[in-house]
Structure 1
């Protein structure tokens, strides 16, 4: 059986324009390939132009501004390099709060019509709770502080990936039950990007005119939400299904960037122009 300490992992982390993978975009990808028993490691780091504004409240967290990403490649140009860095499908990926990062990357692969890597992805959150049961807070930066690994919080993709690598390497010393990789996988929360992938589908029957609007590149006026406010003008791009719900991806003329709307929350829609 393969020992965990001698196995290859890739820790990765993203910075984004917000918290919703349906609406927000990736602005920074960081990753580090490492083996817990070895001191050497390889890194990947790339800022990404999200093609939408970064809200000031988000910039205050990770420090990335619209100017920082203005001349950076878009995600369609970054994913091939990220795939090359991942390399073998046997390499186990690691993320802290993995569902967040998986959902954003899955959305990016879908938007770019690329097949995502099929690697197993383990979430470090459960492992850290097992290794350090007396910690009161399991944010990655808090764990790093408690372990004496950092003094300042950087909140950048590569910095957090390196911190995740160091925290995991220390945590494994307190988890003898995971001496072998198979045991680590069995005892972890395991994900794959395809768990969060969406599928392009025909619309439900009550939204059949929506597909015609997409094909005709029409502009719609919609009323959205449980208590619809002012109408929104959108140009729908495509309909997809994710987690048993239907969505339409559209350019929102009110906010002047691409957004995603859940079909069952559209109270009404009317074609108003082409």
Structure 2
């Protein structure tokens, strides 16, 4: 049954001129990055990630929040893109080779899509590899090592404001520019592909319905059923690293 769904998804993408892909935490999880729903071990086991990733938590205890993001960044640094990431990059290359357009919208903050070679990536929730000062708004790129001091503060002379990761916390709005680009892409695409997302975090949870309302064919690839499973045209149960390479292989010219 899944083979038939994969075949139909490939046929749909083969006809596409404008493709939008949305990825969620499930894609990163296949690279070993824990989701907010995964059970954590060690010193962070007693903390609820959904309570740490908030403006209120940062205001109350910036040191704990900064240390937690340093820990997550260390995990990400030790992970590599998986076959799902690479298949998405290949899909982008195939679309561009035939003169089509491709937009990748990601809810993930790890930049594994960039490391896989994806060119057009819109980071809906920001990235943990950039931090900014809450006072002067100065942004800096950070590496895998933890901050040298806590609380981490802005290095700009005369500022010393607290530093926070450039991510969208629960209760915060998505970056206006990212949302604008996402809305434009969703309104113009003829195929929308949702991969590895639970489809419960808004506004991304509504992207499939938006694309469908504009006439796009909709495809879902996810390990478990989601709220959009019943509305998409094709829903394929499975890991992105298994399903997407199978779809992309069917799209490649003979001999490749």
- Scaled by the length of structure 1, the TM-score of the pair is 0.30
- Scaled by the length of structure 2, the TM-score of the pair is 0.31
The structure richer in strand per residue is 1
The structure richer in helix per residue is 2
Task: Using CA pairs under 8 Å that are at least 6 residues apart, name the structure with larger relative contact order, 1 or 2.
Answer: 2
